[in-house]
Amino acid sequence: MPAPYLALGLTGPHLVELTSSAALLARWDALPAAFTVLGVERVDGSPPAARTLDSSAVGAALAGQTTRGRFLIVASPQRDHPYNLARRVASLGHLSRGRSGLLVGVRDAYAAPDRATAARARDAARAVRALEQSWPHESIIGDRETGILVRSNEIVHVDIGGEFPIAGPLTVPEPPTGASVIAWSGSADAPDAVDLVIGEGGAVAVAVLGERPPRGTAGVLLRAEAEHSVDDVLTAAERLLAGDFRPLAAGPLRAALGLAAPPPRANGRAAFPVPQPHPSL
């Protein structure tokens, strides 16, 4: 079995510290880690921190200010409808050139606990995957001879039910790097739509910074606690990546983790008719 890859789990205060320092951001971006979870305490059962930042807003900032670092934004359907989540996930996939993904949890520590069920989280993950694939990137052709920019008949309705009934397609095309990585927090009843499970027997084990990392998993997420600074986390990660952990080359998240692309949605109901050449051309 190859050496495991290393991922980082940062909490709200760490996100504040990281995004406030150009020097820390440059060190983070240069780290050959697999990915960083932006706000891991939201979904791992921890209490909320005294301060935090919105995970997807931090993701947008990192996508624009860095060139290498990969990350997972964190969300649960308590705060975000899957349609809004899918728009953010797809947009971040474009902005980051495939370096981003989504970690879905059952309960967000910063939201009211109402309706925080595994069934809603599973349906949210399935909806995000279906929506992001509803507008295939391959449909964008930009044909100047015919004036057809998009084969719009390939954009399909998702027509899904469950906790979040949704009919129409997403208004954002799939990123050029394909469907974004969707991860699940904890192994309990993980839906088939996810690519990766973090914690509780999943492919990525969780180790608190300062503890001995476990063996025998594809990856280890180094979880920072409140007493750790971002400098502590980066220093530990640099040491581990120079030792028993496998550095990963720069590039899209899915390719870096060796994850297969999800199968395309089949037999979707076309949202638009077959486009016709522009009459003036």
Query: What is the model's pLDDT at position 110?
Result: 93
pTM of the full predicted structure? Answer: 0.95
Q: Worst-scoring range by mean pLDDT, 51-65, 186-200, 233-247?
A: 186-200
Quote the CA–CA distance of 165 and 81 in Å, as a whole number: 11
Q: Worst-scoring range by mean pLDDT, 17-21, 186-190, 260-264?
A: 186-190
* 204, 190 Cβ separation under 8 angstroms: no
Query: What is the model's pLDDT at position 214?
Result: 87
Percent of the chain at pLDDT above 70?
99
Query: What is the model's pLDDT at position 228?
Result: 96
Helices (H) and strands (E) in the chain, counts: 7, 10
Query: What is the model's pLDDT at position 177?
Result: 97
- Please determine, for residue 66, whether its predicted confidence score (pLDDT) is greater than 80: yes
DSSP 3-state of 271: coil
What angle, rounded to 10 degrees, do the helices at 55-65 and 12-19 form? 30
Query: What is the model's pLDDT at position 49?
Result: 94
Q: How does strand 140-143 pair with strand 148-150?
A: antiparallel
- Please determine, for residue 188, whether its predicted confidence score (pLDDT) is greater than 90: no
Give the distance from CA 211 to its chain's centroid.
26
> What angle is formed at CA 122 by the lines to CA 157 and CA 95, rounded to 5 degrees?
65
When pLDDT is cut at 50, 70 and 90, the band that residue 267 belongs to is confident
DSSP 3-state of 239: helix
DSSP 3-state of 185: strand
Residue-wise pLDDT tens digits, 119-131: 999 999 999 999 9
- Please determine, for residue 20, whether its predicted confidence score (pLDDT) is greater than 90: yes
Q: Which residue carries 């305490």 as its tokens? A: 41
Quote the CA–CA distance of 108 and 212 in Å, as a whole number: 28
Residue-wise pLDDT tens digits, 196-238: 999 988 999 999 999 988 888 999 999 999 999 999 999 999 9
Mean of all residue pLDDT scores within the chain: 94
Greater pLDDT, 264 or 256: 256
Query: What is the model's pLDDT at position 75?
Result: 95
